[in-house]
Chain A
Amino acid sequence: MANKNNLRHLMFGLAGSALLLTPQAYANETIKIGVMLPFSGAYAALGSDGRNGLRLALKEHRERLHGSNIEFIEMDTEARPERAPEISSALLNRHKADFIVGPVHSGVANGMLRTLRNRDTIMIVPNAGSAEVTGALCAPNVFRTSFSSWQTSYPMGQVAADKGYKRVVTITWNYGMGRESVDAFEESFTAAGGEIIRKMLVPFPRTDFQSYISEIASLQPDAVFVFFAGSGAVQFALDYDALGLRERIPLIGSGFLTEGTLGAQGKAAEGLVTTLHYADELDNPNNVKFRELYKSEYNRDADLYAVQGYDAGLMIVEAIDQLQGKVKDRQAVIEVMRNMTVPSPRGDFTFSKAHNPIQNVYLREVKDGVNRVIDVAMPALEDPARGCNM
């Protein structure tokens, strides 16, 4: 089944421009969208969901494209930071891409920013949450449709304090996204009177957690806060449950702990409480419509990464529509994007001065294999954008 899907995407890719061309085309300007996502390796699923979301937005709104030809140039980053400068400069200089959408991985984002910031293209980051993207390395031509690490973990500190937890152990991979998430949690948790009794840093990408969890058990904290994503998230939840801690010491985390991983985690994820800017079950008309559309187009359920890619697509659609296809004027595109309200499946959001979404962060709990929304942990939360002078 995956096989057929891949083939269909390939064909869609080849025929992309033709499909999107409306019969009454008059402008016929070709708009190039470079896509830099991981299509192989551990993050391949995230990359293809992001790409699918992006394409869906442009297909759904093709009547708003003023007859422009849309050409996709897809590059596989393999989630390898060292490939980023080479690929992004090819998209910028050789292909003259008008928009470059990517990446998933924060290390890759760093490499892309060094090549693309303040250059003649618009970069839209559909995932990578590291602080510097809309912090120290922020730039007028760089937007992010996803989140900052701070946004997804800061609210949890308040939630934990409200639940009455006093002594908490934090554990994460020893890399940028992990450390930033844990620091954001600590910031709000200690401000509310809590204490971090141990900060554990696991070498990235190690996924043998048994010895760390044994250590946690001996410390007997009130709760454990983690940032892990993908296979690390699956593994941590499985080990935590297998060693019998799940029912004794609450496990809380940034939402990536239970995002796209619930099938693999099974009952080990039941009851985990997380904060994130999206949940599959969010009850708003945009989300319901988007999920139906996505399912019928790709024959799989949409997830967070699809949403973030879709929103990048919505931004491009809006810019093309308002400027009637004249997207070579980058300043005008930036003006449109900076002032737009994105009708995202996660709920409408606008951009901060640093071009990061100002968005609700939801409190979620896993029940029967689904992330149920319990509450809005913090509404319209804006990243502090430390180090950005824009």
Chain B
Amino acid sequence: MTTSLFFIQLINGLQYGLLLFLIASGLTLVFGVMGILNLAHGSMYMVGAYLAWYFFTHTDSFLLSAIISAVIALSIGILVERTLIRQLYHRNHLDQVLLTIGMIFVFNALQSLLWGNDPQGIKVPDLLSGSIPLTDTLSYPVYRIFVAVICILLAAALYYTINKTRLGMLIRAGESNREMVECLGINISRLYTIVFAIGVMLAAIAGVLSAPMVSIVPGMGEHVLIACFVVVVIGGMGSIKGAFVAALLVGIVDTFAAVLLPSIASMVVYILMALILLVKPKGLFSN
């Protein structure tokens, strides 16, 4: 592998990792704060992509459709938490798994009924449609760099919110001692609604940002869900920082494995996970 190809693959890996982080952050946030294992998280990624496609074909504006999609995702998050997830706080993980698996089926059926089963796609917004030449034959699309930048900004915003704001303080407090937070007169159930809705919205935003890069198809959510779980488990369940490091690690390892070890490429990420869990059974950054 030449040096230039090495760096190009490194960029590919980082970019994939950043996108993985964006999807996985919502999953790990919800688990960390609320102890809820949301298997339907991948479905929200799918919903985000389909909403972006639907509104883009009607408004012809990517920015507008992204905003509308994010708002709708936030509302879906609030609705689902208020009606369904709320029933699960005092029940075990098995019940959570059953309910959220059921939600996967419901979202898939709704997608099929509302938008059909044909693969869909939207074009990259004109402003970002250029590309930067890297070698004689290869150039890098501006939109992918834009997505990577947005992912970094969102990661920074999450970090700031959790560590520097009052909401973040409450989230951290709720993580470590729910009863005490309630005793102090904080409305924990409202806090949970907010956290869950943000988690859903992060997945949907990842779907929206991916929409111009991927084929929008039934079942796209389940595909990313597994990668997300690997990220969350490696990073330590509930740790945002862990998810960030793990996502980049998975992104880079997966990219290089695909090229260097094609025959076992699909296993490498899981082998990595198993090795890390052997050394650190609770993941890299668990509390």
Contact = CB atoms under 8 A, between A and B. Distances in A.
Contact of B138 (A1, A42, A203, A217): A217
Contacts of B189: none
Contact of B8 (A208, A214, A260): A214
Interface string B194-233: 0000000000000000000111111110010000000000
B119 A230 contact: yes
B137 A248 contact: yes
Interface stretch (A264-272, A278-286, A288-296, A335-343): A264-272
B216 A264 contact: yes
Contact of A231 (B115, B119, B254, B259): B119
A234 B217 CA distance: 10
A342 to B, nearest CB: 27
A260 B141 CA distance: 25
Interface residues of B, number: 51
Interface string B127-142: 0000101011111110
Contact of B116 (A45, A260, A264): A45
A242 B131 contact: yes
Nearest to A38: B117
Contact of B12 (A214, A231, A267): A214
Nearest to B257: A211
A99 to B, nearest CB: 25
A48 interface: yes
A210 interface: yes
Interface in B92-151: 108, 112-121, 123-124, 131, 133, 135-141, 143-144
Contacts of A210: 12, 15-16, 255
A207 B214 contact: yes
B218 A211 contact: no
A389 interface: no
B215 A44 contact: no
A249 B139 CA distance: 13
Contacts of A211: 9, 12-13, 255-256, 258-259
Contact of B2 (A41, A42, A218, A235): A218
A203 B123 contact: no
B265 interface: yes
B5 A263 contact: no
Interface in A172-224: 200-203, 205-208, 210-215, 217-218, 220
A243 interface: yes
A245 B135 CA distance: 11
A175 to B, nearest CB: 12
B266 A45 contact: no
A242 B259 contact: no
Contacts of B139: 243-244
A238 B213 contact: yes
Contacts of B131: 242-244
B262 interface: yes
Given A243-B139, A249-B137, A212 B259 contact: yes
A217 B119 contact: no
Nearest to A204: B266
Contact of A40 (B112, B136, B137): B112
A153 interface: no
A1 B139 CA distance: 40
Given A214-B12, A218-B138, A208 B258 contact: yes
Contacts of B135: 217-218
Contacts of A239: 213
Contacts of B219: 41-42
A266 B117 contact: no
A200 B262 CA distance: 8
Contacts of A245: 137-138
B259 A215 contact: yes
A118 interface: no
A44 B16 contact: no
Contacts of A266: 121, 123
B119 A264 contact: yes
Contacts of B141: 242-244
Contacts of A200: 262
A251 to B, nearest CB: 13
A244 B116 contact: no
Interface of A: 1-3, 6, 40-42, 44-45, 48, 200-203, 205-208, 210-215, 217-218, 220, 230-231, 234-235, 238-239, 242-245, 248-249, 260-261, 263-267
Interface of B: 2, 4-5, 8-9, 12-13, 15-16, 108, 112-121, 123-124, 131, 133, 135-141, 143-144, 213-220, 223, 254-256, 258-259, 262-263, 265-266
Given A200-B262, A234-B121, A266-B121, 7 more contacts: A2-B113, A41-B219, A208-B16, A208-B254, A211-B12, A217-B135, A248-B137
15 contacts: A42-B219, A208-B16, A211-B255, A212-B259, A214-B12, A215-B5, A215-B259, A218-B138, A220-B136, A220-B137, A230-B215, A235-B214, A238-B214, A260-B119, A263-B121
